[in-house]
Amino acid sequence: QVQLVQSGADVKKPGASVKVSCKASGYSFTGYGISWVRQAPGQGLEWMGWISTYNGNTKYEQKLQGRVTMTTDTSTTTAYMEMRSLRSDDTAVYYCARDHNGGADFDYWGQGTLVTVSS
């Protein structure tokens, strides 16, 4: 069965970087793109960007451009999201999600990774 399993919760200080992993299994990894979506406490969903697992092409939300990098390792079927220069308002649950049939709707989601940014 399709699964996306993310790395565990993390606590970072302002200005630091974080890298969240998303291990995919149960399907052909390079056949579906991966997006990252975050959710601040008590808030709605915010799309952060997308990566093609086939060729590594990326699209990022404009306001995060320069602070976020998405990568994949096809040998381990794992996607990564790295964010730099963390601020307190980056505190959120970060989700990876699989494209649905080539579109940018998402049929499978990881369990979420809580990243807390606090001094």
Which residue in the set 12, 23, 59, 67 belongs to the binding site for another protein (CB under 8 A)? Answer: 59
> What letter represents residue 81's amino acid?
M
Closest CA to 98 of 6, 7, 11: 6
From 9-17, 20-28, 37-45, 80-88, span contacting another protein (CB under 8 A): 37-45
CA 90 remoteness from chain centre: 13
| Closer CB to another protein, 48 or 86, in the complex | 48
Q: 110 with 2: CB under 8 angstroms?
A: no
Using CB under 8 A as the binding rule, whether residue 50 contacts another protein is answered as: yes
CA–CA separation, 95 and 4 (whole Å):
10
Using CB under 8 A as the binding rule, whether residue 25 contacts another protein is answered as: no
CA–CA separation, 97 and 86 (whole Å):
22
Using CB under 8 A as the binding rule, whether residue 16 contacts another protein is answered as: no
Smallest gap from Cβ 109 to another protein, in A, equals 4
Residues found near another protein in the complex (CB under 8 A): 35, 37, 44-47, 49-50, 59-62, 95, 97, 100, 103-107, 109-112
